[in-house]
Amino acid sequence: MRFSSPWFVASVALVCATLASAKVPRVAYPKSKQAARIRNKFKHSLAHRHGAERSFTGTGWQASAPVADAPFTNIWAGLSDDEAADVIAFLHNQPALNLTAAGNSTAWDNSITVVDTLLPNKTDVLAYFAGKASKPDRYARATIWFGTTENPWIQEFQVGPIPITNSSTYASLDWASTKGSAVQRNYIADDALVTEYCYNVSASVQDIITDLINGTAMGGASDDLDIWGIDPVWHPTPETTTQWMTFWRIPSSIFDGETLLPQGLYFELNTTGRDPSGWAVLGWLYADTYYNSTNAFRAAWEAGELPKLESNVEGDWIGTDYMGPNTDVGANSTMWASEKPPPVQVPPGGEDGIRYKVDVENKYVEWMDFTFYISYSRDTGLRLFDIRYRGERIVYELGLEEAIAHYAGNDPVQSGTAYLDSFYGFGPYAFQLLAGYDCPTYATFLNTSFHADEVSTTHLNSICLFEYDTGYLIQRHSNDRYLAVTKNIAFVVRSVSTVGNYDYNSTQFDYTFYLDGSIEVIVRASGYIQSAYYYANGNYGYQIHSGLSGSMHDHCLLFKADIDILGTSNSLANHTIVPVTETYPWSHGATRNSMRLERSYVASEDAGKIMWSENAQTMLMVVNADEPNSFGEPRGYRIAPGKGGGMHLTVTNSSNLLNSQSFATHDLYATVRKDAEPRAAHALNNYDVANPIIDFADFFDGETLEQTDVVLWFNLGMHHVPHTGDLPNTVFSTAQGSMLISPHNYLLHDPSRDTRQTVRIDYDDTKGVETVKTFGAEFSKGATNLTNTVPDFWAYRGDIAVRKFPYDPQHPFNNTVSIV
Ligand SMILES: *[C@@H]1O[C@H](CO)[C@@H](O)[C@H](O)[C@H]1NC(C)=O
Ligand SMILES: *[C@@H]1O[C@H](CO)[C@@H](O)[C@H](O)[C@H]1NC(C)=O
Ligand SMILES: *[C@@H]1O[C@H](CO)[C@@H](O)[C@H](O)[C@H]1NC(C)=O
Ligand SMILES: *[C@@H]1O[C@H](CO)[C@@H](O)[C@H](O)[C@H]1NC(C)=O
Ligand SMILES: *[C@@H]1O[C@H](CO)[C@@H](O)[C@H](O)[C@H]1NC(C)=O
Ligand SMILES: *[C@@H]1O[C@H](CO)[C@@H](O)[C@H](O)[C@H]1NC(C)=O
Ligand SMILES: *[C@@H]1O[C@H](CO)[C@@H](O)[C@H](O)[C@H]1NC(C)=O
Ligand SMILES: *[C@@H]1O[C@H](CO)[C@@H](O)[C@H](O)[C@H]1NC(C)=O
Ligand SMILES: *[C@@H]1O[C@H](CO)[C@@H](O)[C@H](O)[C@H]1NC(C)=O
Ligand SMILES: *[C@@H]1O[C@H](CO)[C@@H](O)[C@H](O)[C@H]1NC(C)=O
Ligand SMILES: *[C@@H]1O[C@H](CO)[C@@H](O)[C@H](O)[C@H]1NC(C)=O
Ligand SMILES: *[C@@H]1O[C@H](CO)[C@@H](O)[C@H](O)[C@H]1NC(C)=O
Ligand SMILES: [Cu+2]
C-alpha cells in the first residue's frame, strides 16, 4: 500500500465529516454547477458508507519505474504546497489588498482565489539552457477577488520571485493581457444569492410547478428539483446582467444523471447589481410560449392554457450499471462470454521489465528516444515541456489552452450555454485514475496539486505513464521469400478531468509517443450529456427518451504546440498536392491529366488562420529552412489531424462568447511566439466575455512567419449530436479527436528501424523456414501471476485538501477540508 501514512488516513476521515457543511467556494467553482456537485458527492459518500460490501479485488501491480536523472530541475513545475503558502502569506501582508482569509470571506470581501506557477518566459529558459543566463527566477500568479465594492472585479497578479524575500513584489499581470489589463469585471459575484432568488421565484409559483413538473426547489435536503441556467451570463446592455434558468430533476439514486432530467420550464432574471431587492423576473417560457411576467404566466395557467407535456422522469435508464442480458430488442445476447476476463497486458519481467525512466520529483520522463518534462496547472491541467527526440528539442511546449462546449437550442438555456472550461479548471477535477481501468495496473502514477481558496489539494495518482502494445504492427513487409515485422509499442502520458459538476463528462487527455518519432495528442470524452427538454426542437437534436432531446453542441479544445526544429528559427512549409494538366518532353505534344507537389511557405500571420484542406491535399510542416537534410530538403515535423479530423466551432460570432471565442474560428493557427503571448485564452475570460483578458484575435498583426519562432495552435473536439447511444453515457470510442505531430524529412530513415523488436523470417516454399533474425530482442519468459493485473479497488483514495492560511509548515496537513 503506497498511501497509508497516518496523516493521510486522518485527512480522509475529515473529508467525509466536512462534506455536509461544505460551503460553496466562490470562484474556483462558481455557480450552481458546484452546488450540485457537492450535493451529489454527499449522497455518494452516504451510499458508500451504507452500501459497503467487499467483493473480490486483486492486489494491483507493485512495480515502480527506474529512476531518471533530470538534466535540469523542472522549472515549469506547479507550485509546491510550501510555495503556495509562502505566496499567500506574502499577499496577506500587503495592506493595500485588504485581504480576508479565504475560509472566512464572503462575496463582499477581498480574498485570494487561485495561486499557480507563472511559467517562465521561453526567452529566459532558452538562455539558461544555452548556459548564457542563470536559472530564471520563479514566479507565481495569484488571482484575487475584489468584492468590497458595488462593482466587484477579479484580477491576476504576478508575485515573486519565490521563495519570498525582501526583494519580492506583486504587480498586476497586465503584460500577458491583450487588453493591457488583468482586471476582469465580476458580474457573478453574488451567485449564491441568485440561487436563493431562484428558490423564491420557484416558491412563488409552487402550485404551477407542482402541476406542470411535480417537484420542489427550495434549497433544502428534500428538494427533488434543481435550478440553474446559462453560462456565461448575458449583458443586453453593458450595464445590465440577465440570465435564463431552468428546472432539472435531482436523481434520487447514486447516479449523477441530473443533466439528463431537464423539465422544460424556464424563467429569465434581471440580476443587475449586487442587491437582490433590485432583481426581477423578466419572463417565463413553457411549451415554446413566452410569458412576459410571472403574472402573465400565472394567468395563462389559471386559464388552463398551459398544455401538459410529456414528463422526463428518473429511472434505471440514467444508471451506468450492467444492464444485461438482453436489455435491448432483438435476439439473444451476443455477450454470452462477457463475464470472462478480457485479454490483459503485463510488463514482461515485472518491475525489471519497465523500459522507461521517471524522475518523480521533477516529473521528467525518458522513453526510448524521447525525453520531456510534465507540468500541471489548475486551469488547463497537463502540459509537456522540452520534448526532445534523440537529444534535440522538437517541442518546447505542448498543452491545452481552453475547451469550449457550445450548445444551441430553441430554448434559452441551451441557446445560452457555451462553457469555457478553464474557468472551472481541469486541475480541480483531475481525480485519481483507477489502475487496471484508466491505465494498466503496471503504469507509473504521479500526483497533481492545485491551490484554490487558500487550500492546496492533491489528487493522488492523477497522471499515469505506461507503455503498451497498440495491437497492430508499425512495420510489415513480406513476399514469397521472407516476412519482416516490427511491433508498434507506444508510450502514453494520460490524465482525465471530469470537468464541471456531476453532469459533466470525463475528458481524457493522452500524449502518445511512437517509435517513428511521432507524437499524438488525443482527446476523448465520456459521461453524461447535458440534454434539453424535448419540445419543438427537432432542429437542435434528436429525441432520445421521453421528453428528452440530446441537445446538440460542439466541443472545441484549443492546444498550443510550440514546435522547434533545430532551434527557434523556423518556417511553416505548405506542400500541396494539386491536379495539373501538363505536357512533357516525352508526351508527343499531348497533355496529360496528373498531379504535382506545390511548395510554398505560409508567409505571415495574415495567412496564419488555417483550415485543414479539402481532401487533405495540403501538408503543413514546421521546418528549419536553414537546416536542409543531405538531400537539400528542409528538416521538419508535420502537423496533421489524426482521429476525428480536427475542427473549429460551427457557430460563428457566438452570441454567448463574444470576444472570447477567437481561437475557435479555425482549425489551426500559426503565430510568431512572444513572451507576452504565452496563452491564447484565460480562465477569467468567462467573467466578462465581451472584454476578455486575452483575445486571441489580437495575436495576429501580420508579422512574418519565415525563419522565426513559429508557434501553432490547433483545435480538437467533436460536433456532438447525442443519439440514443449516448444514454446513459457518451462513450469514448466515438467521442474522440487527435492530432499527429510527426517527423517529415527530419531523419534520413524511419527511426522505428532502430528498435530491436523486429523480426525477419526467411523461408522457402519447399524447405520451410530457413533463418530467423531477432536482432538481439529478448522475449517474455517465466510466469506472471495475473492476479497482479486486477487492481485493489479498495485502495482508491480521492484527494487531499489542506488549508494554507494561516499555514503551519510543521503540520502541513491540518485543517483539511473538502472542496469537491
Ligand atoms: C476566521 O475567523 C475566526 C474568527 O475571527 C478566526 O479565529 C480564524 O482564525 C479565521 N480563520 C482564518 C483562516 O483566518
Ligand atoms: C477592507 O475590506 C473590508 C471587508 O472585508 C471592508 O469592510 C473594508 O471597507 C475594506 N477596507 C478598505 C479600506 O477598503
Ligand atoms: C528583510 O528586511 C528586514 C529589515 O528590513 C530584515 O530584518 C530581514 O532580515 C530581511 N529579510 C531578508 C530575507 O532579507
Ligand atoms: C409527483 O411526485 C411524487 C413524489 O416524487 C410522486 O409520489 C407522485 O406520484 C408524482 N405525481 C405525479 C402525478 O407524477
Ligand atoms: C434590469 O435592471 C436594471 C437595474 O435595475 C435596469 O436598469 C435595467 O433596465 C433592467 N433591464 C431589464 C431588461 O429589465
Ligand atoms: C406583456 O405583454 C402584454 C400583452 O402583449 C402587454 O400588454 C404588456 O405591456 C407586456 N408587459 C411587459 C412588462 O412587457
Ligand atoms: C435464443 O436462444 C435460444 C436457446 O439457444 C434459442 O432456442 C432461440 O431460438 C434463440 N432466439 C433467437 C431469437 O435467436
Ligand atoms: C461533455 O460534457 C457536456 C456537458 O456539458 C455534455 O453535454 C457533452 O455531451 C459531453 N460530451 C461527451 C462527448 O460526452
Ligand atoms: C497552400 O498552398 C496552396 C497552393 O499550393 C494554397 O491553395 C493553400 O491556400 C495554401 N494553404 C495554406 C494554409 O497556406
Ligand atoms: C516575461 O516577458 C514579458 C513580456 O516581455 C515581460 O513583461 C515580463 O517581465 C517577463 N517576465 C519575467 C519574469 O521576466
Ligand atoms: C497470485 O497472487 C495472489 C495474490 O497475491 C495469490 O493469492 C495467489 O496465490 C498467487 N497465485 C499463484 C499461482 O502464485
Ligand atoms: C496538526 O497535525 C499534527 C499532526 O500532523 C498534530 O500533531 C497536531 O496536533 C495538529 N494540530 C491541530 C491544531 O489539530
Ligand atoms: Cu458532447
- The preferred substitution site among 98, 105, 151 for testing ligand 2, maximizing ligand atoms within 8 Å of CB, is 98
Q: Which residue has the higher pLDDT, 353 or 284?
A: 284
Q: Fold for domain 69-185?
A: Nuclear Transport Factor 2; Chain: A, (3.10.450)
Residue 499: partners with Cβ closer than 8 Å, 6 or more residues away: 403, 421, 424, 425, 426, 429, 505, 507
Query: Residues with catalytic annotation?
Result: 421, 502
Residue 39, pLDDT score:
28
Residue 351, pLDDT score:
58
Residue 585: partners with Cβ closer than 8 Å, 6 or more residues away: none
Contact 712, 213 (CB under 8 A): no
Distance 164 CA to ligand 3 centre (A): 11
pLDDT tens-place string over residues 194-227: 999 999 999 999 999 999 999 999 999 899 999 9
Q: Which residue has the higher pLDDT, 601 or 505?
A: 601
pLDDT tens-place string over residues 565-593: 999 999 999 999 999 999 999 999 999 99
Q: Fold for domain 368-471+484-753?
A: Beta-galactosidase; Chain A, domain 5 (2.70.98)
Average pLDDT over residues 352-377: 94
Residue 379, pLDDT score:
94
Confidence of residue 262 (pLDDT cuts 50, 70, 90): very high
Provide the mean pLDDT of the chain: 88
- Using the predicted structure, report yes or no on whether residue 310 has a pLDDT greater than 90: yes
The bound ligand whose nearest atom lies closest to the alpha carbon of 331 is 7
Residue 332, pLDDT score:
57
Residue 22, pLDDT score:
26
The bound ligand whose nearest atom lies closest to the alpha carbon of 56 is 11
Where does the chain hold its CATH 2.70.98.20 domain(s)?
368-471+484-753
- Using the predicted structure, report yes or no on whether residue 20 has a pLDDT greater than 60: no
Residue linked to cell 434520487: 252
- The preferred substitution site among 104, 803, 808 for testing ligand 1, maximizing ligand atoms within 8 Å of CB, is 104
The span from the first CA to the last CA of the chain, in angstroms, equals 25
Contact 520, 716 (CB under 8 A): no
Average pLDDT over residues 292-308: 97
Q: Which amino acid is at 506?
A: S
Question: CA-CA distance, 188 to 26, in Å (whole number)?
Answer: 9
Average pLDDT over residues 720-742: 95
Q: Pick the atom of ligand 4 nearest to 210's CA.
A: 1
C-beta 613 within 6 A of ligand 12? no
Contact 212, 306 (CB under 8 A): yes
Question: CA-CA distance, 117 to 243, in Å (whole number)?
Answer: 34
- Using the predicted structure, report yes or no on whether residue 780 has a pLDDT greater than 90: no
The closest of 300, 299, 191 to 243, measured between CA atoms, is: 191
Tell me which architecture the domain covering 12-30+189-318 has in CATH: Roll (3.10)
The closest of 75, 179, 188, 180 to 136, measured between CA atoms, is: 75
The closest of 195, 27, 190 to 107, measured between CA atoms, is: 190
- Using the predicted structure, report yes or no on whether residue 504 has a pLDDT greater than 50: yes
Confidence of residue 58 (pLDDT cuts 50, 70, 90): low
Neighbouring residues of the ion ligand 13, judged by CB less than 5 Å: 720
Across 12-21, 419-428, 618-627, the highest mean pLDDT is recorded for 618-627
| Mode of pairing for the β-strands spanning 541-545 and 532-533 | unpaired
How many Cβ atoms from other residues are within 10 Å of residue 500's Cβ?
25
Residue 345, pLDDT score:
87
Contact 509, 494 (CB under 8 A): yes
Confidence of residue 307 (pLDDT cuts 50, 70, 90): very high
Residue 3, pLDDT score:
25
Nearest CA to ligand 9 atom 13: 610
Residue 620, pLDDT score:
98
The bound ligand whose nearest atom lies closest to the alpha carbon of 675 is 10
- The CA distances from residue 234 to 137, 645, 687, in Å, are 41, 33, 11
- Using the predicted structure, report yes or no on whether residue 46 has a pLDDT greater than 50: no
Distance 234 CA to ligand 5 centre (A): 12
Determine the length of the chain.
820
How many Cβ atoms from other residues are within 10 Å of residue 132's Cβ?
8
**DSSP three-state, residue 353:** helix
Distance 685 CA to ligand 5 centre (A): 24
Residue 15, pLDDT score:
24
Q: Look up residue 158 and give its three cell numbers.
A: 504576478
Instruction: Point out the least confidently predicted range of 449-463, 671-685, 797-811.
Output: 797-811
Distance 716 CA to ligand 9 centre (A): 21
Question: CA-CA distance, 152 to 150, in Å (whole number)?
Answer: 6
- The preferred substitution site among 426, 502, 504, 719 for testing ligand 8, maximizing ligand atoms within 8 Å of CB, is 504
541 has which bridge partners? 551
- Using the predicted structure, report yes or no on whether residue 810 has a pLDDT greater than 80: no
Residue 147: partners with Cβ closer than 8 Å, 6 or more residues away: 105, 106, 107, 108, 109, 110, 111, 186, 189
Q: Which residue has the higher pLDDT, 61 or 679?
A: 679
Confidence of residue 353 (pLDDT cuts 50, 70, 90): confident
Nearest CA to ligand 4 atom 6: 214
Q: Pick the atom of ligand 7 nearest to 332's CA.
A: 1
Residue 501, pLDDT score:
43
- Using the predicted structure, report yes or no on whether residue 59 has a pLDDT greater than 80: no
Contact 418, 402 (CB under 8 A): no
- Using the predicted structure, report yes or no on whether residue 356 has a pLDDT greater than 90: yes
- Using the predicted structure, report yes or no on whether residue 804 has a pLDDT greater than 70: no
C-beta 59 within 6 A of ligand 11? yes
- Using the predicted structure, report yes or no on whether residue 1 has a pLDDT greater than 80: no
| Mode of pairing for the β-strands spanning 519-527 and 532-533 | unpaired
Question: CA-CA distance, 209 to 202, in Å (whole number)?
Answer: 8
- Using the predicted structure, report yes or no on whether residue 393 has a pLDDT greater than 90: yes
CA dihedral 106, 107, 112, 116 (to 10 degrees): 120
- Using the predicted structure, report yes or no on whether residue 21 has a pLDDT greater than 60: no
Instruction: Point out the least confidently predicted range of 154-163, 252-261, 326-335, 657-666.
Output: 326-335
Can you say whether the dihedral through the CA atoms of 98, 104, 105, 111 is positive or negative? positive
Distance 270 CA to ligand 5 centre (A): 6
Question: CA-CA distance, 296 to 663, in Å (whole number)?
Answer: 42
Nearest CA to ligand 11 atom 3: 787
Q: Pick the atom of ligand 12 nearest to 815's CA.
A: 14
Residue 391, pLDDT score:
97
C-beta 787 within 6 A of ligand 11? yes
| Mode of pairing for the β-strands spanning 553-563 and 548-551 | unpaired
- Using the predicted structure, report yes or no on whether residue 76 has a pLDDT greater than 90: yes
Contact 373, 81 (CB under 8 A): no
Contact 551, 603 (CB under 8 A): no
Residue 55, pLDDT score:
43
Instruction: Point out the least confidently predicted range of 346-350, 414-418, 480-484, 604-608.
Output: 346-350
Nearest CA to ligand 6 atom 8: 292
Residue 338, pLDDT score:
81
pLDDT tens-place string over residues 615-665: 999 999 999 999 999 999 999 999 999 998 879 999 999 999 999 999 999
Distance 325 CA to ligand 7 centre (A): 13
Q: Look up residue 551 and give its three cell numbers.
A: 441537445
- Using the predicted structure, report yes or no on whether residue 125 has a pLDDT greater than 60: yes
Residue linked to cell 459518500: 45
Q: Pick the atom of ligand 3 nearest to 167's CA.
A: 14
Q: Pick the atom of ligand 7 nearest to 330's CA.
A: 13
The bound ligand whose nearest atom lies closest to the alpha carbon of 678 is 10
Average pLDDT over residues 528-535: 95
154 has which bridge partners? 145, 184
Q: Pick the atom of ligand 10 nearest to 121's CA.
A: 1
Q: Which residues of 80-111 are buried (b: 16+ CB within 10 A; e: fewer)?
A: ebebbbbbbebbbeeeebebbbbbebebebbb
Q: Look up residue 146 and give its three cell numbers.
A: 475584489
Confidence of residue 786 (pLDDT cuts 50, 70, 90): confident
Distance 313 CA to ligand 4 centre (A): 10
Residue 92, pLDDT score:
97
Contact 433, 497 (CB under 8 A): no
Q: Pick the atom of ligand 8 nearest to 507's CA.
A: 1
The bound ligand whose nearest atom lies closest to the alpha carbon of 111 is 2
Q: Which residue has the higher pLDDT, 711 or 354?
A: 711
Q: Which residue has the higher pLDDT, 77 or 328?
A: 77
| Radius of gyration of the chain from its Cα atoms, rounded to whole angstroms | 28
Contact 467, 816 (CB under 8 A): no
Confidence of residue 348 (pLDDT cuts 50, 70, 90): confident
Distance 245 CA to ligand 7 centre (A): 50
C-beta 329 within 6 A of ligand 7? no
Question: CA-CA distance, 373 to 712, in Å (whole number)?
Answer: 19
| Mode of pairing for the β-strands spanning 634-641 and 758-764 | unpaired
As a whole-number percent, the residues of the chain with pLDDT over 70 amount to 87
Can you say whether the dihedral through the CA atoms of 577, 578, 579, 585 is positive or negative? negative
Residue 334, pLDDT score:
63
Question: CA-CA distance, 627 to 175, in Å (whole number)?
Answer: 34
Question: CA-CA distance, 228 to 34, in Å (whole number)?
Answer: 11
Where does the chain hold its CATH 3.10.450.40 domain(s)?
12-30+189-318, 69-185
- The preferred substitution site among 93, 166, 168 for testing ligand 3, maximizing ligand atoms within 8 Å of CB, is 166
